[in-house]
Structure 1
Amino acid sequence: MTIHSEGIEIPVDGESIAGTIVSPGAKVPGILFVHGWGGSQQRDLARAKQITGLGCVCMTFDLRGHEKTESQRLSVTREQNLADLVAAYDRLVSHPAVDTSAIALIGSSYGGYLATLLTALRPVKWLALRVPALYWDDEWNLPKQALDRQRLTDYRQRPLGPGDNRALGACAEFAGDVLLVESEQDDFVPHSTLMSYRSAFVSAHSLTHRIVDGADHALSSDRCQKAYSSILSAWISEMVIGARLDRYPHHSPWYS
């Protein structure tokens, strides 16, 4: 299979953020990766290329406040980063190779939080969240970097439900398939936060919860990175490429 990699610019709020689309030749599902706070699309690119080989159009991008827009790190808000994600989604579904009814989101940490919010704004069929972070609803337009860290730590230890948090409320409405990946030794997103997310997905078609043994929040070791890649690839193969084929008619533009 020929794989095409294209660097793109995504306009948002009069500015632009950098992205990369990796795609095969035929019309196929689209998968959008959302990196965490302090990360970049570079961490996702290797996985995007691997998954593209399964028969998907994958897209990575840099949220504002990162990489070439790092100068905005102290001022960018959650609202602006959600706008980045909406713009990236709209760019992905405009790609001629993408089946717009078959979109997956793969979000890590802050990116996982944003991904849940996007499901309330755009159609998403599959949702993979690695150590999804959780933030209170207030101070939405305060710079993300200015949020009180101790308050965040305390907030994430609390049992929270869909009525307590906008992201969890979006999870409760999501009717697709979900993958939750937890790090066993996570100092930033504790087990209690994963349980809040897990409990919120009351309408999900399916929910898979995996724990990477011995892993920290950033998956610092090669072993943990490989373990997560294996979990993600297996889930994508089962949900997006395999088990869902029988739910599409043979004339689906990406079936053949």
Structure 2
Amino acid sequence: MAIESENIELRVQGESIAGTLVSPGSRMPGILFVHGWGGSQQRDLARARQITGLGCVCMTFDLRGHEKTASQRLTVTREHNLDDLLAAYDLLAGHPSVDPGAIAVIGSSYGGYLATLLTARRTVKWLALRVPALYWDDEWNMPKQGLDRQRLNDYRRLALGPADNRALGACAEFAGDVLLVESEQDDYVPHDTLMSYRSAFVSAHSLTHRIVDGADHALSSEESQKAYSAMLTAWVSEMVIGARLDRYPHYAPWYA
């Protein structure tokens, strides 16, 4: 890894003394977590702390309509939550320790859907989607909570392509690396939806599809949580940390 040195002056009681500031010549990858509808950043914090140890700057946040802003749950729209995600991305990308050209976004369910839309507006190098939900393009500014549940269930079982859906259209343009994680026993996001997403990533640099055996949508069991964490950490290590090693051959995370 390149090392940078900067001569500095320290003012102490009216006098000047010399110093040298030594810092890594490179900034770290940034990783942004996006929770699902009805969730919160709490689920992501343990994984964020673990991945931070790999040499990344991680960020979690609560979408409007959740936690401290739960009072907005009946009025918040997809437009509002996409704006939340854009604001979170801009804050992370602007952090002085983050390389803005090396950002990963990890989204679950509704957060995965929003993450695909983000890729059309911001630079994303790596995209991990766990059980990404899918929504029709119309009623965009209707409160999210008011969308017809049965219609959603039927819609997600359709074979859809990039021309049929805004999120899938964004997937077709995405040229980075992708991880798709499916739950075997998912009652909310069926296998058909994962296949629509998988088929849409026609420009991706790489595509990894994993299934958490026996898992439901929320990963309710401890075994499912551990299995997903292992999948995610392995993929981040391969993609994000591997890319950093290619760029900086002498780089090694603290645990090496």
- For normalisation by structure 1, the TM-score amounts to 0.86
Residue equivalent to 1:213? 213
> How far apart in 1 are the matches of 2:169 and 2:245?
29
Residue equivalent to 1:184? 184
RMSD of the TM alignment (CA)? 1.5
> How far apart in 1 are the matches of 2:59 and 2:222?
23
SS of 2:60 mapped into structure 1:
strand
> How far apart in 1 are the matches of 2:79 and 2:216?
28
SS of 2:107 mapped into structure 1:
strand
> How far apart in 1 are the matches of 2:74 and 2:250?
49
- Residue 77 of structure 2 corresponds to residue 81 of structure 1: no
Residue equivalent to 2:131? 131
Q: CA deviation at 1:244?
A: 5.2
Residue equivalent to 2:140? 140
SS of 2:155 mapped into structure 1:
helix
> How far apart in 1 are the matches of 2:94 and 2:46?
23
> How far apart in 2 are the matches of 1:61 and 1:78?
16
> How far apart in 1 are the matches of 2:153 and 2:37?
16
Q: CA deviation at 1:250?
A: 6.2
> How far apart in 1 are the matches of 2:250 and 2:170?
32
Residue equivalent to 1:113? 113
- For normalisation by structure 2, the TM-score amounts to 0.86
- Residue 152 of structure 2 corresponds to residue 152 of structure 1: yes
Count of aligned pairs: 227
> How far apart in 2 are the matches of 1:244 and 1:89?
20
Q: CA deviation at 1:242?
A: 1.4
Cα deviation per residue 1:43-91 (whole Å; 9 max; x = unaligned)?
0000000000000000000000000000000000000000000000000
Residue equivalent to 1:97? 97
> How far apart in 1 are the matches of 2:192 and 2:222?
26
Q: CA deviation at 1:27?
A: 2.5
Q: Which runs of 5+ in 1 are unaligned?
A: 1-25
Q: CA deviation at 1:245?
A: 3.0
Task: Map 1:1-256 onto structure 2 (within 5 A).
Answer: 27-243=27-243, 245-246=245-246, 248=247
Cα deviation per residue 1:190-239 (whole Å; 9 max; x = unaligned)?
00000000000000000000000000000000000000000000000000
Q: Which runs of 5+ in 2 are unaligned?
A: 1-25
SS of 1:61 mapped into structure 2:
coil
Matched AA of 1:177: D
Cα deviation per residue 1:6-63 (whole Å; 9 max; x = unaligned)?
xxxxxxxxxxxxxxxxxxxx73100000000000000000000000000000000000
Cα deviation per residue 1:97-130 (whole Å; 9 max; x = unaligned)?
1011100000000000000000000000000000
Matched AA of 1:178: V
SS of 1:227 mapped into structure 2:
helix
User: Highest CA radius of gyration, 1 or 2?
Assistant: 2
